[in-house]
Amino acid sequence: MQYLHTMVRVKDLNASLDFYCQKLGLVEVNRHESEKGRFTLVFLAAPEDVERAKEDKAPLVELTYNWDPEEYQGGRNFGHLAYRVDDIYALCQKLMDAGVTINRPPRDGHMAFVRSPDGISIELLQKGDSLPAAEPWASMENTGSW
């Protein structure tokens, strides 16, 4: 058995690509549009997984955009996507500067949670050992649910 991808339905493809690519840092590795099926599939990989994703078509996040409007609910009952990051403080600061709410700040220097425009919970985990506690993160409260 081999993990391939996680599919997330999105309401606004441009807003989702802005979040996942411009803010979170994922890379688009493939796109498929179906006139007949009236949908667009966009496959994204973490920067360190791009070559593997192109070769194996895994591991990926598949954004599914249905051209006909549809209301999706739940985000949180999906669970979450998790990414290991080089510097959790730097990424959280970059996300905050881009207007993303840090729902669960990295108070412990190890773990944080944010949400995509469609309410999908994204877990960020520090690569290696936890970073030493640092402000403003150490005293920052949770915001919303994650």
Q: Determine contact, residues 92/135, Cβ cutoff 8 Å.
A: no
pLDDT in tens, 35-89: 999 999 999 999 999 999 999 999 999 999 999 988 777 665 566 888 999 999 9
Structure tokens at 97: 């500067």
Do residue 92 and residue 135 come from a single domain?
A: yes
- Show the beta-strand stretches assigned E in the chain: 5-9, 27-34, 39-45, 60-66, 80-85, 102-104, 111-115, 121-126
What's the total number of domains in the chain? 2
Give the amino acid at 89. Y
CATH number reported for the structural domain that contains residue 87 in this entry: 3.10.180.10
pLDDT in tens, 99-123: 999 999 999 999 999 999 988 889 9
Catalytic amino acids?
A: 123
Question: Burial code of 118-127, b = ≥16 C-beta within 10 A, e = fewer?
Answer: bbbbbbbebe
Q: What is the pTM of this model?
A: 0.79
Residue 53 domain boundaries: 5-66
